[in-house]
Structure 1
């Protein structure tokens, strides 16, 4: 707080010339796009939201005149800022190295983070476990395991039936003897009731022993994954848990998409808007959705999805967000100081409560 007050004092002292020069400037053009709960376009084509009210308080205190210019998304705003066709944007823009080099970014006024949402599971863990046991994926693993056991058992019986006909009987019963030996060997039970006597049979047994160690480890992991993958949706606590989900969705061209790419986590579905993504999640078309936590919470409440979608209590990758202006804009100091004053007021806390907004 002391550092922030000192920063404001410095800007007031050294930014005076810029503020005075800007007093005679024309109306500011403020680029915005619909981005609840920060910027909300109402049915009567007016605007409200956390950033709107924050900006209007700053403009009123600094006696600034302005007009809003609506864009479809932040990409259009970035282009207009780069060409200096607009004076600033009040939508929360993530602070990063490339933007700081190209634009003037104010003191951050909000800290966002990536939220993780999952569909509510209306089944008990026991029901999830049982449904997975009888699932097609689990059945495929079991059938493949039986097939491998059968192949090695068949070859051993084929060799041993002439040399060891008491343990590996001829006909169908002997085939079962080979299957029994293969299963017992793979599981390392070692009853010793059946064992190869021929050299070729012993060679097959050695190969099967080493192969079985690898196979049983892989199959055990696959079975465990199949049995628990749905249950893990309720136990996601970090990025490593997210990797275990099969269908991960994001909203395109966002920090959540960049985060998953950076972490080498595959994305199953990309949506054009958070509304579409949340509705798909509510229908259980995806297992996990990553997007800005504040906006996710807003839409979950607004669309009455709180009984269908669960926002998990942890977050990923915090981002500081600011207003953004073209480089060396003459109004930067005036706006920046005004913003820092506003976010220190008790009214700023009230505004966040009004729009049910919590940072991080």
Structure 2
């Protein structure tokens, strides 16, 4: 009986080992089968596709020949030709009209300057983004009183007030020490404490600013030593203070009226209705006047009916360069935006378009296309 037990135990252990080996071999296959398979490209339509677009240079615009061109248009042509798709362009007047046409399925895609937003994503589909940028701010070129508004704002800022208070504190501290050293030997500093303190503070201020010959200078040895130290130190103090103020004022003039979104709350702001700019301004609680087209908004800015205009940076930069040279595009970027090709909610071509887009965006052709329309200053 004792010999049979080890044999039974050995047989049971061997069977268990075999089961474990088999389970280990089958587990990866079972795990792979449980994972969802990646979406496969659907069948590409054989009919002619209808592609919505609108005039938004440099992404989509009509050439003199009547043919559409631009960054988005050229990219769509490249991708569609690679997939063997037939298509034709249909022009819409406003971005809202393009969005509604895509959302209702009246068109098969939209190639223009459409940014991906949460609100739009709820009613339509998008391909992989092909261009990243942000909102730009345009203002009228500095002139008259408007050019000095940033300077006045600097003088009213908390940092400027702090600098003045620190400088005033140093002057008063030196004045108190001069009064304490001179009150028993120098008549102007004697008498009542307030009178002596005022005399010391006045001498300290005159010596620092070198506004004139400092009268009733110190006579005691400690007072004269302090006076020499203060007159030398005050030259450095004033130089540093003036240099700091000059640098700040120069920076404010260069930056202009707007440095960030908060500065827009004090200005009359314009924006294109139906664009993603409106969503951003509302989220920042910035009051704004809406216009139907970018050129109308820039015209209002030029005529002084608004103080700043906010819109997609590359679109506004192109339009200002072409038609509004008297306006300036500030060197700041608000928010962040991704441009993509818009598709109806239920479509069968997004996966195929994404694959073709990802291959195209890594090509030398895409780098040359961006450079041709935007030059070297392009977003990644």
| TM-score (norm. length: structure 1) | 0.61
1:274 to 278, 289, 294: 294
Query: What is the Cα deviation at residue 325 of structure 1?
Result: 1.3
Match in the other structure for 1:288: 308
1:319 to 316, 326, 337: 337
Q: Distance in 2 between matches of 1:100 and 1:270?
A: 23
Aligned length: 241
Runs of 5+ consecutive residues of structure 2 not aligned to the other structure:
1-37, 153-251
Aligned in 2, Cα 1:288/1:80: closer, same or farther, shift over 3 Å? closer
Match in the other structure for 2:70: 49
Q: Distance in 2 between matches of 1:252 and 1:82?
A: 18
SS of aligned partner of 1:310:
strand
Match in the other structure for 2:262: 240
Match in the other structure for 1:15: 40
SS of aligned partner of 1:355:
helix
Q: Distance in 1 between matches of 2:331 and 2:148?
A: 22
Aligned in 2, Cα 1:100/1:63: closer, same or farther, shift over 3 Å? same
Match in the other structure for 1:338: 356
Deviations 1:106-138 (A, max 9, x none): 10111231111111113599x848xx9xxxxxx
Aligned in 2, Cα 1:85/1:353: closer, same or farther, shift over 3 Å? same
Q: Is the CA contact (8 Å cut-off) linking 2:52 and 2:92 kept in structure 1?
A: yes
Match in the other structure for 1:261: 282
Match in the other structure for 1:66: 87
Equivalent residues in 2 for 1:162-311, closer than 5 Å: 234-245=256-267, 247-267=268-288, 269-303=289-323, 305-306=324-325, 308-311=326-329
Q: Distance in 2 between matches of 1:339 and 1:333?
A: 10
Q: Is the CA contact (8 Å cut-off) linking 1:92 and 1:110 kept in structure 2?
A: no
Aligned in 2, Cα 1:102/1:249: closer, same or farther, shift over 3 Å? closer
Match in the other structure for 1:211: none
SS of aligned partner of 2:112:
strand
Q: Distance in 2 between matches of 1:71 and 1:242?
A: 31
Aligned in 2, Cα 1:29/1:117: closer, same or farther, shift over 3 Å? same
Higher normalized strand content (fraction of residues): 1
Query: What is the Cα deviation at residue 232 of structure 1?
Result: 10
Q: Distance in 2 between matches of 1:100 and 1:283?
A: 37
Q: Is the CA contact (8 Å cut-off) linking 1:29 and 1:87 kept in structure 2?
A: yes
Query: What is the Cα deviation at residue 233 of structure 1?
Result: 7.6
Q: Distance in 2 between matches of 1:233 and 1:356?
A: 23
Based on CA coordinates, which of the two structures has the bigger radius of gyration? 2
Match in the other structure for 1:223: none
Q: In the alignment, is residue 97 of structure 1 matched against residue 115 of structure 2? A: no
Q: Is the CA contact (8 Å cut-off) linking 1:118 and 1:233 kept in structure 2?
A: no
- How well do the aligned residues superpose, as a CA RMSD in angstroms? 2.7
SS of aligned partner of 1:102:
coil
Runs of 5+ consecutive residues of structure 1 not aligned to the other structure:
1-12, 133-229
Q: Is the CA contact (8 Å cut-off) linking 1:294 and 1:359 kept in structure 2?
A: no
